[in-house]
Amino acid sequence: MLSREAACELCGGGDTDHEWTGDVGDDDDWSTWLMECRVCCQLVHPACLAAFSPDLTHTGVVDEDLPSSWDCARCCQLGLQGQSRVSCSVNPLMPIIAIWVQL
């Protein structure tokens, strides 16, 4: 679970308007939820990631068992889906992801 102080690394906004229901259905708009990627550990709103990276063709994969956790669209597009980290405190992928964001 994310802390109330957590913020999107792209827009700076938080996630105080959403409450996790434990179920992600086809009708749920989770694009504005604050999500932490299990692969690159970036904390973003999926909608912000899509806006900042218009070349992304993948939408990402939400982890239905862990609130606010997903494999982000960028990592999925890079073929890294399912390669989750044990800890997001040290992430060797961050320099790669930073370069991707700048492109």
More confident of the two residues 87 and 13: 13
Residue 22 lies in a domain: no
Domain with residue 97: its CATH number is 3.30.40
Higher pLDDT, 39 or 85: 39
Confidence of residue 65 (pLDDT cuts 50, 70, 90): confident
21-52 per-position pLDDT tens digit: 445 454 457 778 889 999 888 999 998 998 98
Domain presence at residue 36: yes
Give residue 72's pLDDT band: very low, low, confident or very high (50, 70, 90). Answer: very high
Which domain does 98 fall in, by range?
A: 30-102
Q: Burial, 84: exposed, middle or buried (Cβ in 10 Å; 0-12, 13-18, 19+)? A: middle
